[in-house]
Amino acid sequence: MRTTVFTIFLILFISCFSSISGQKNRNSKRVQSYCNPVNLNYRFCLDKPSRREAADPTLILFKNEYYLFASKSGGYWSSDNLLNWKLIETSDLPIEEYAPTAVVIKDTVYFMASGERSPIYKTGDPKNGKWEIVNPGFIYSVTDPDLFYDDDGRLYLYWGCSNKEPLYAIELDLKNNLQPIGKPEELFGANIKEHGWEKPGDFNTIEREPWFEGSWMNKYNGNYYLQYAAPGTEFKGYADGVYVSKNPFGPFKYQSNNPFSLKQSGFICGAGHGSTFKDKYENYWHIATQTISVKHMFERRLGIFPAGFDNDGVLYTQTAWGDYPQFMYQKKRNQLKSSFTGWMLLSYKKNASVSSSIDSLPISNSFDEDIRTYWSAKTGDRGEWLKVDLGSKCRVNAMQINFAEHETNIFGRQAGIYYQYTVEYSDDGSTWYLLIDKSKNKIDAPHDYIELNRPIFARYLKLNNIRVPGGTFAISDFRIFGKGNNPKSKRVNDFSVVRDSSDNRNATIRWGKDKNATGYLVHYGIDRNKLYNQLMIYENNFAELHGLNTGSDCYFKIDSFNETGVTEGKQIRVAKANL
């Protein structure tokens, strides 16, 4: 009898241990996944209120290593796989300035940040954090700079951040300490009358000039793609657009697929002021700024999305399912195909219970798919817990734990900023088995994403607090991903699109509601084969868009989804522009 009990215990222990995070299995040949926002050790800001921030990212590949620079981060990061990031602290760079840029020129990395008479730096080994000054003070004041090295050996600087002025460009002299050649060229600015997505507001409803900023340049097949951000970093509609030219100084033509990077709905929104880069395998990605903007307007995170140029040279970013688990392929892949894992959200609006709760921050906030809301326990003490009932026994593949950091009093980078916790699972809510053990964790992971090496089947999951670095035990969302057992949602076979004849920037889409659907994904774009933008709608059966471009037709398709999977729509409708 004792042998049997011991054998059962051993099997359960091995099963639980083997299910622990794929992050600990870095030598595994299986394709690992990630989930936005990127799980970085975002720095706490130096000023009140206590909150984290990173934004305006530049990501480069240098000597087979990725380097990520972002505003107000107290350093920069390196990675060999775009999954696991290590902070590099330095006293050589102006790390308190906004919107840093970096460029690779042969065996050297050059760096510059926003500011008046900003220096330009260089290093041959960014991993050691040692940099030297090339140009002690650029003669022009630049905000949101972008250094672009052309394939003909010439270097350009683009910049601009204003609600009144356009973007600018100038060539730099590589033979004379990166001094400017000639005078700045004025390029292009905002145009809200024709580009609805440039209008401010979460959903582009404010008729005033946007912040026009965040330049980034790529060259592809002989064309120059100058990217920019609008309408403002605090809005869900923060996005990146692009103009195209045959010349680095223009004239530039507005790309018909704009914005090319947009994430206006879902758990975390925003996909603006980013950089487009190639990985080791020649795949394109776009890393961009995402908004929380609750504790402070500049409370922001980073998201990384598959991107690329289609067969017609149209630049696009795949933000569909952009805050669900995505595969990070370590090989060349067809980027027009989705990297979505197919693991669905199992925890949306599920019944939950907690050890304690602040009345104004209820437990429902932890399962509402909104990073701007959160639940908080009354304390940060060991023993506070959160338990969710998935409703039935489901296959669980991954989870994301987003710590909300309520009433923290932390400023800057300091020792002891990390979370310790465990996750248990159960079939009946009474007998619990250990799934994740981070009771001795010392890594700062405020958006901890955990892919299980092997999926489990469970109905209940429980998150147990052991330690928080400050404040109370607070969770913006405890997100569980996998496959449920619901009947598949029905295909959206019919829907209507009405475009506002008096203002072509607006359109309303309506469709029949399905009781089995958790939500819908509205795809839209410039062609029936280029539906590159999307809007995720939970529960409702309508959507209003205010960010369309005048003068061009817009095509629509709608998928339905629930915990079982996605039912792809087949019907495509066009909303004609009133030319």
Say what the pLDDT of residue 197 is. 98
Q: What is the percent of the chain with per-residue pLDDT over 70, rounded to a whole number?
A: 95
Residue 338 forms part of a structural domain: no
Let me know whether 10 and 57 are in one domain. no
Q: Is there a single domain that holds both residue 374 and residue 514? A: no
The domain of 512 spans 495-575
The band of 30, judged by pLDDT with boundaries at 50, 70 and 90, is: confident
Claim to verify: residue 102 and residue 10 sit in the same structural domain: no
Indicate whether 5 pLDDT > 70: no
Residues 58-75 pLDDT 10s: 999 999 999 999 999 999
Residues 505 and 557 in one domain: yes
For the cut 80, the answer to whether the pLDDT of residue 4 exceeds it is no
**Residue 133 sits in the same domain as residue 171:** yes
Is the CB of residue 198 less than 8 Å from the CB of residue 191? yes
- Choose between 550 and 22: higher pLDDT: 550
Is the same domain home to 118 and 260?
Answer: yes
pLDDT band at 335 (very low <50, low <70, confident <90, very high): confident
Across 217-243, average pLDDT = 98
Which residue, of 432, 455, 483, is where some domain finishes? Answer: 483
Q: Which residues contact 2 (CB under 8 A, 6 or more apart)?
A: none
Tell me what pLDDT residue 29 has.
63
User: SS3 of 276, please?
Assistant: strand
Which of 455, 483, 511 marks a domain boundary? 483
Q: In Å, how far are 319, 492, 524, 575 from 528, measured between CA atoms?
A: 18, 17, 8, 11
Given pLDDT bands bounded at 50, 70 and 90, which one contains residue 478?
very high
In DSSP terms, which residues pair with 326 in a beta bridge?
Answer: 34, 340
Burial class, 356, CB count within 10 angstroms (exposed 0-12 / middle 13-18 / buried 19+): middle
> Domain for residue 442, yes or no?
yes
Share of the chain above pLDDT 90, in %: 93
Is 336 within a domain?
Answer: no
Q: Is the pLDDT of residue 432 over 90?
A: yes
Q: What is the pLDDT of residue 23?
A: 39
In this prediction, residue 578 has a pLDDT band, given cuts at 50, 70 and 90, of confident
Asked whether the predicted pLDDT for residue 512 surpasses 90, the reply is yes
Is the same domain home to 457 and 549? no
Q: Is residue 488 part of a domain?
A: no
Tell me: pLDDT of 411 over 50: yes
CA 127/CA 76 separation, integer angstroms: 10
Listed residues 275, 298, 327: the one ending a domain: 327
Evaluate if residue 10 carries a pLDDT over 60.
Answer: no
Question: Quick one: average pLDDT of 257-261?
Answer: 98
Residue type, 155: L
The answer, yes or no, to whether the previous bond of 251 is cis (omega within 30 of 0) is: yes
At 254, is the pLDDT very low, low, confident or very high (cuts 50, 70, 90)? Answer: very high
Contact 416/410 with Cβ under 8 angstroms? no
Kindly report the pTM of this predicted structure: 0.94
Q: Which of these, 471, 556, 496, lies nearest to 51 by C-alpha position?
A: 471
